[in-house]
Amino acid sequence: MGYKAKFRVWRGEGGDGKLEDFTVEVNEGEVVLDVIHRLQATQAPDLAVRWNCKAGKCGSCSMEINGKPRLGCMTRMSTFEESDTITVTPMRTFPVIKDLVCDVSFNYQKAREIPSFTPPSDVRPGEYRMQQIDVERSQEFRKCIECFMCNNVCHVIRDHEENKTNFAGPRFLMRIAELDMHPYDVADRKDAAQEEHGLGYCNITKCCTEVCPEHIKITDNALIPMKERVVDRKYDPLVWLGNKIFRR
């Protein structure tokens, strides 16, 4: 059965805006994005929202629903009480372009800063041979849909704009871990993870893992193992001795 829901939606451009109240029809089986689309169709034709697949796979419709990062297309209206007021705002960590759409180019910049897959120079494409067991651990990270909700929720940049230059965010620290676990990647990623991409800023709050719509265990399976690899390097007696000898 349909009912009328109370929605409070962020409207505005750039840094200026305010929450606007709407009462809007909801039908059985709908998700928050359906209701946003009905708002566009009936009451707010200029309401900006980014979306694409409506199937939880493109990562475009990230927003904050009642203060929590969620995919609009995967958040069922049936998870709320009919009497609830549902507040929908753009992701807070990135600059707002208009209404629910923010500028996520921070993430593309960080992606570019990570050196790509680097195979050994004597192995040509087509000659890579790997067993499933070799890629078992890092395969989980390939489920990422780049919704950037993990980067949005991480307090290191959510509350500290000044850290953005030095911190790649969980999504891209996970990418470094993925490449470091790849049997054919020969790039040295450990020092860079710590010194250039800000792995040390992560204090394992696990908020990133909590919001991941693909249920990737970002902290336990990527960030903590990467921290351990960095520490192993630092405290490995052979590496320590090598540093002593060659840095003199």
The contact set with ligand SF4 (CB under 6 A) reads 144-150, 171, 211-214, 216, 218
Contact flag: residue 154 with ligand F3S (CB under 6 A): yes
Give least dist CB 82 to ligand SF4, A. 29
One-character DSSP codes across 197-234: S-GGG-----HHHHH-TT---IIIIIIHHHHHHHHHHH
The first and second tokens of residue 103, run together, are 């500028």
Q: How far is the CB of 125 from ligand FES (least distance, A)?
A: 31
Which amino acid, one-letter code, is at 114?
Answer: I
> SS3 sequence, 162-201?
HHHHHCCHHHHHHHHHHHHHCCCCCCCCHHHHHHCCCHHH
How many residues at the interface with ligand FES, by CB under 6 A? 12
Give me the residue label for tokens 């909590």: 210
Q: Which of 6, 8, 11, 54 binds ligand FES (CB under 6 A)?
A: 54
How far is residue 44's CA from residue 36's CA, in Å, rounded to a whole number?
9
First to last CA, the chain: 77
User: Residue 149 binds what, of ligand SF4, ligand F3S, ligand FES, none (CB under 5 to 8 Å, by partner type)?
Assistant: ligand SF4
In the complex, least distance from residue 88 CB atom to ligand FES, rounded to whole angstroms: 14
96 phi, psi to nearest 5 deg: -80, 135
For ligand SF4, give the closer residue by CB, 30 or 214.
214
148 or 167: whose CB is closer to ligand FES? 148
Q: What part of residues 32-51 is at the interface with ligand FES (CB under 6 A)?
A: 51
Task: Give 100 or 147: the residue with its C-beta nearer to ligand SF4.
Answer: 147
* Residues in 82-141 at the binding interface with ligand F3S, rule: CB under 6 A: none
Asked if 61 interacts with ligand FES (CB under 6 A), we say yes
Shortest distance, position 63 Cβ to ligand SF4, whole Å? 13
Provide the b/e sequence for 59-69 (b: ≥16 CB within 10 Å). bbbbbbbeeeb
Please classify residue 41 by burial: count the beta carbons closer than 10 Å to its beta carbon, then call 0-12 exposed, 13-18 middle and 19+ buried.
exposed
Residues 6+ apart with CB under 8 A from 105: none
Under rule CB under 6 A, which residues in 191-210 are in contact with ligand F3S? 202-208
Rule CB under 6 A: which of 55-84 touch ligand F3S? none
Asked if 9 interacts with ligand FES (CB under 6 A), we say no
**Are the C-beta atoms of 26 and 51 separated by less than 8 Å?**
no
Our finding on whether 75 is near ligand FES (CB under 6 A) is no
Nearer to ligand F3S, 77 or 156 (CB): 156
Residues that bind ligand F3S (CB under 6 A): 154, 156, 170, 202-208, 219, 223
